[in-house]
Amino acid sequence: MRSKPVIELREIYGAERSGIAMPGWTTLEDQKAAAHWALGRWSDFPVEARPRPWVLTAGVVRSEGGFRTAEAKRAFLHGAVTATIPVPDAVLRLVRDRRHQFTSPTVPAPLVIDRLSRSEADFLTDRGDVRFPAWGLEGDGITGRIWVLDPDVVAARWKPSEPSPIAPPRHGGYHRSFKSSLEADGRTLHFQFTGGAPHHVEYPDAVVVESDSAVAVIPVDRDIGPPGPRIALGYGREVVVRLGDELGARVVVNLDASPVVVAQT
């Protein structure tokens, strides 16, 4: 069940507070500060550019079909990949870069690639799945393919530069959206997020923080549940907000500055 449309509590900010450090936040004021920071990360996004730059919301390497053994899957996850055929160095680098995402006390036996094709595959962007040029890697340990986004597309994507000298927020009590939706008017946003159990928490309001290049939404919760211990289990929740201007080419972001997929309804 969807939450009722929220009373608009809108604050339109620029990036003037993008340099503040936030080790964590739980209060509404702290979350507003986090929204300032997140929008600041996207202040240089070229909303007027045509074509609009691609904003990827998931990885540039994905498996399709699975692996024949747990060892083969572990090798893929850890970027332990080798090839018996010529594979462009830039393609292999993207696969091997996964080693920075996973750590293990032992090094798995490498996953061997012995077949290569150039085709197209779907990758997730902030405007939904988009079919891009891609490389398909195959081998005896793979039941389908490993799809690698073409390195030229990867190089052309837009993402915020790493903040310096202030580190990005690492944790905090905020609600994160992976996919939301926008109505045909271009202004009514259904912000879908992981929140509390409906019998414990309701979300009657939300704060919308907007800039020329990005939008952040802060659901405002109200505790309605009985006292006592609660199980830490997330539920799919939603608040509906109306933006001050049409979303257009702007990016919807979470409070850690990660982009949100926005589907058109």
- Give the model confidence (pLDDT) of 178-200 as tens digits: 999 999 999 999 999 999 899 89
Sign of CA dihedral 154, 160, 164, 168: negative
- The residue range of the domain holding 97 is 61-156
Q: 231 with 195, same domain? A: yes
Asked if residue 246 is part of any domain, the answer here is: yes
Q: 168 with 260, same domain? A: yes
Question: Which of 156, 179, 206 finishes a domain?
Answer: 156
Extract the tokens encoding 200.
């414990």
Q: 44 with 168, same domain? A: yes
The answer to whether residues 218 and 228 touch, using CB atoms and an 8 Å cutoff, is no
Q: 124 with 212, same domain? A: no
Strand partners, 116: 137
pTM: 0.82
Asked if residue 86 is part of any domain, the answer here is: yes
Q: How many helices (H) and strands (E) does the chain have?
A: 4, 14
* Cα 34 from Cα 14, distance rounded (Å): 13
Strands 115-125 and 128-138: antiparallel
Residue 105 vs residues 8, 78, 108: alpha-carbon distances, Å? 50, 11, 10
- Give the model confidence (pLDDT) of 129-147 as tens digits: 999 999 999 999 999 999 9
Asked if residue 2 is part of any domain, the answer here is: no
Q: 146 with 93, same domain? A: yes
* Cα 40 from Cα 35, distance rounded (Å): 8
Q: 192 with 146, same domain? A: no
Q: 45 with 172, same domain? A: yes
Asked if residue 1 is part of any domain, the answer here is: no
* Cα 122 from Cα 133, distance rounded (Å): 9
Question: Which of 156, 184, 207 finishes a domain?
Answer: 156
Q: Is the pLDDT of residue 98 over 50?
A: yes
- Give the model confidence (pLDDT) of 193-232 as tens digits: 999 899 899 999 999 999 999 999 999 999 898 877 777 6
Asked if residue 113 is part of any domain, the answer here is: yes
What DSSP string runs through 57-85? -S-SEEEES-BSSHHHHHHHHTT-EEESS
Question: Which of 105, 132, 156 finishes a domain?
Answer: 156
Number of domains observed in the structure of the chain = 2
* Cα 79 from Cα 67, distance rounded (Å): 14
